[in-house]
Amino acid sequence: MRDSGSPAGRFSRTVDLYGASGFEAIRSARVVVAGLGGVGAHAALALARSGVGTLVLCDFDKVTVSSLNRSPLFEPGDVGRSKAEALAERLGRACPDTRCEAREVFLDEATVPGVLEPAPQVVIDAIDALGPKVGLLAACVRRGLPVVSSMGASARRDPGALRDGEVGETSECPLARLVRRRLRKLGIERGVTCVWSVEPAAPPLPPDRGEETLRRGRVRRRQPSGICLPGIFGYRAAALALERLVRPGAVRAQDASAGSKGRRGAGIG
């Protein structure tokens, strides 16, 4: 029986999966996760469980009652706390080998540079606000940083409708369409790996006036959401990010699959 109490025991199966050199790349990596709602929290958990050395957890929002239905770690007692601080604390207990940096910050032109310095090996974008999302993606592309971006995960129920690929390949997703347009205006058409769904989204609902939210820009309508699809989006984004760490040229799930076959053929695993 392998020792589950030591780092060697906890990560033995991960080393089996990615190989010793691949796991070393994971352990030495610095990864930014921006947006810690349903998608981002699941992605952060997957990265920490996989042994990523340092996670930079970014979100300006607080934990709300309605966010408990789709977060893997937040508890009722966390309501009102900073999402970044609460998630860093939970991950610190569950995954003591990962260093978590909590950044309670609204991402804009002034704050993004500080989040991206020192340079991370990968960025996961799980922001749902269009302006900050596009600003972060543009900054990553301009700095040559690999970035995996989640498009709209709310209001969807079909796990088989997920796709991944370059931002220019996205389809059927209203958020992805807006992101493409904004990036194109900035002269960016490639360099952003996306996870999106081709399932039509359910209609949004009126804003929830009884819940305190971040008041910047327009008041957003309430989006129906559960835990399953945001979780799948988050884990798919994390899988792509991990593949970028161990195979820097990987862009999509098919690349990861091809890499796995290559490792098996070489007797690694």
Does residue 266 surpass a pLDDT of 60?
no
Q: Running DSSP on this structure, what letter comes out for residue 51?
A: T
**Structural tokens at position 249:** 């040229």
For 116, the 3-state DSSP assignment is: coil
d(CA 195, CA 202): 18
pLDDT at 261: 44
| Token output for 89 | 């604390």
pTM of the complete model: 0.88
Distance, CA of 237 to CA of 239 (rounded, Å): 5
Q: What is the pLDDT of residues 56-107, one digit of tens each?
A: 999 999 999 999 999 999 999 999 999 999 999 999 999 999 999 999 999 9
pLDDT the model gives residue 190: 95
Q: Dihedrals φ, ψ of 162, to 5°?
A: -75, 145
DSSP 218-254: SPPPB----SHHHHHHHHHHHHHHHHHHHSTT--SHH
Which of the listed CATH numbers 3.90.1150.10, 3.40.50.720, 3.30.70.3340, 1.10.10.10 matches domain 11-206+223-254?
Answer: 3.40.50.720
Residue for token pair 């032109």? 109
Give the span between the Cα atoms of 221 and 259, in whole angstroms: 41
Nearest to 97 by CA among 58, 56, 50: 50
pLDDT at residue 219 in the model = 57
Residue with tokens 């790349």: 25
**Is the pLDDT confidence value at 168 over 60?**
yes
Instruction: Decide: 167 and 212 in contact? Cβ < 8 Å.
Output: no
Evaluate the CA torsion angle 200, 206, 208, 214 in order and state its sign.
positive
Per-residue pLDDT tens over the stretch 237-258: 999 999 999 998 766 655 655 5
Q: What is the pLDDT of residues 176-196, one digit of tens each?
A: 999 999 999 999 999 999 999
Q: Given pLDDT bands bounded at 50, 70 and 90, which one contains residue 268? A: very low
Q: Where are the alpha helices (DSSP H) in the chain?
A: 7-10, 12-27, 38-49, 83-94, 112-115, 130-143, 174-185, 228-246, 253-265
Please report how the helices 228-246 and 12-27 are oriented relative to each other, as an axis angle in degrees rounded to 10. 70
Please name which of 121, 116, 111 lies closest in space to residue 30, comparing C-alpha atoms.
Answer: 121
